[in-house]
Copies of this chain bind each other. A is one copy, B any other.
Amino acid sequence: MLSRLSKQLSLSASTSRNLLFQKRFSPNDGTSLWSCSFATQSGTSTARQSFVADGSMTDKIFASYSVYKGKAALSTSPMLPTFRKLDSGGVKLDRKGSIMLTFWPAVGERKYDWEKKQCFALSATEVGSMINMGPQDTREFFHDPAMLSSNAGQVRKSLSIKPHADGSGYFFSLNVVNNILKTNERLVVPVTAAEFAVMRTAVSFALPRIMGWDQYSNQPLGTAHKNPSKVLPHLTDSEWDK
């Protein structure tokens, strides 16, 4: 019962993201295509009043962590959240960030076809579930990118993380059933314990950032008032003369 509630949460989390996407892409673009077009982007958005860039390429950062294995490759990268300004003057998290997992198949000896990539955007709670895994634990997440839209149920994605029999790592498996494109694809990437340790450390670093919590940082006070050109309005002398 708890897990069902939890699943609903993760679904609605990815949904709020995807509904925003729906505004920008016709369903016929194909879910797997557009969702991946954001895989390595630094949380851009065309939403009005977004605090981040207007979708121009200048915001794209490409620094994924990628592992290449026999049948497919897997890359991991953060998608930062977007913020909007409130009439009150405050700033509010708009679209939640995520950790984007991108799978793409091998098509030969160390050759991989990026065009055939499939993505899965982990919500904060799904990231918490992943970094919390013990050596023998298993996880499975379900997403419907078109949930709550007229295409609900047309595309079903499931990600499973299963331990190697010898505890030396995990199998990451992404299954995408797309009734629009009439496709059913499955991509499996074995991840070693060392590679998972990198993923765990890197996504733990990224988690507060995709949540927007790096906004909760203090102004550098020790130096700010030494450099008048950088002093904020509320740090001017007038502040002290009130």
Contact = CB atoms under 8 A, between A and B. Distances in A.
Contact of A219 (B51, B70, B205, B235): B51
Contacts of A169: 2
Q: How many copies does the complex hold?
A: 4
Interface string A212-231: 11111111111101110110
A213 to B, nearest CB: 6
A60 interface: yes
B51 A235 contact: yes
Q: On chain A, which size bracket covers the interface?
A: 35 or more
Given A88-B57, A234-B226, A62 B6 contact: no
Given A218-B209, A234-B226, A198 B57 contact: no
A162 to B, nearest CB: 14
B195 A125 contact: yes
Given A42-B215, A128-B198, A215-B221, 6 more contacts: A2-B192, A43-B218, A49-B240, A61-B90, A80-B216, A128-B196
